């Protein structure tokens, strides 16, 4: 396991202080979500206006910069109301990889659930920072098979039963896609009734089909 995952950060031990929002840095590169949900920002702002008190945001100290680790929606809500300070806790980080891993861990465990694009972005950046599959599973809480599937390069063309190639574009050949669908349905139906011969070549072929289909992604899905 990487050093950043071996050490459990104790945010509760950090003192709560009022931080000037203008001194905080929001770095998209170190934020695990694909986008900001402004409907959440709006709801938070309404709650703040009504007197709600939110948990302090989490700030990472990296090379003299105060980077938001967790709490972007809360920061935006304060800004919308013209509030220039926010309650925060801060901890030092040694690297971008360590800070990003903590941001993933914090954001995936509460608040708006991670969507597909959030998971995909987090996996890609964690792989870039050289985290292995087991470490990514512990951070994002998704199966290893899902991490492998998302991280696999999309299929851009396949061979249709007629021998022609199907290209995965916005306007695929309808007739060839129907042929491919029928071929998949045939495999499914044969597997359901269990009439595949119990011989090694067929068992191997079934295993290969399962592995291949588990890696397929068309148009990013």
For the chain, domains (ranges, CATH) are 3-151 (3.90.1530.10), 157-215 (no CATH)
What's the length of the chain?
221
Q: DSSP character for 64?
A: T
* pLDDT per residue as tens digits for the range 61-71: 999 999 999 99
pLDDT confidence of residue 27: 93
HSE-CB of 118 using CA atoms within 13 angstroms: 21
Strands (E), the chain: 17-20, 24-25, 57-62, 65-70, 85-92, 157-159, 165-167
SS3 content of the chain, % helix, strand, coil (to 5): 50, 15, 35
* pLDDT per residue as tens digits for the range 48-104: 999 999 999 999 999 999 999 999 999 999 999 999 999 999 999 999 999 999 999
pLDDT confidence of residue 206: 72
Q: What is the dihedral of CA 140, 66, 62, 136, to 10 degrees?
A: 0
Three-state DSSP class for 14?
Answer: coil
Cα(139)–Cα(110) distance, rounded to whole angstroms? 13
pLDDT confidence of residue 77: 96
pLDDT confidence of residue 67: 97
pLDDT under 70: residue ranges of the chain: 1-8, 149-177, 194-197, 211-221
pLDDT confidence of residue 142: 82
Exposure b/e, 153-162, CB count within 10 A at least 16 = b: eeeeeeebee
pTM to 2 decimals?
Answer: 0.66
């Amino acid at each position: 396991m990487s050093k950043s995952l071996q050490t459990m950060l104790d945010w509760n031990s950090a003192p709560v202080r009022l931080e000037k929002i203008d001194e905080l840095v929001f770095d998209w590169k170190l934020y695990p979500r694909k986008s900001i949900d402004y409907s959440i920002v709006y709801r938070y702002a309404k709650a703040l206006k009504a007197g709600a008190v939110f948990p302090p945001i989490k700030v990472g100290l990296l090379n003299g910069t105060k980077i938001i680790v967790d709490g972007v929606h809360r920061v935006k809500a304060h800004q919308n109301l013209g509030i220039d300070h926010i309650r925060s806790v801060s901890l030092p980080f040694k690297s971008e990889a360590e800070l990003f891993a903590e941001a993933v861990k914090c954001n995936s465990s509460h608040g708006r659930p991670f969507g597909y694009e959030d998971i995909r972005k987090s996996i890609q950046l964690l792989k870039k920072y050289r985290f292995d599959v087991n470490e990514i599973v512990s951070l994002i809480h998704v199966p290893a098979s899902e991490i492998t599937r998302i991280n696999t390069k999309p299929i851009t063309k396949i061979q249709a039963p007629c021998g022609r190639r199907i290209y995965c574009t916005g306007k695929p050949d309808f007739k060839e896609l129907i042929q491919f669908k029928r071929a998949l349905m045939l495999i499914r139906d044969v597997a359901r009734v269990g009439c595949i011969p119990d011989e090694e070549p067929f068992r191997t072929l079934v295993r290969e089909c399962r592995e291949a289909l588990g890696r397929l992604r068309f148009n990013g899905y």
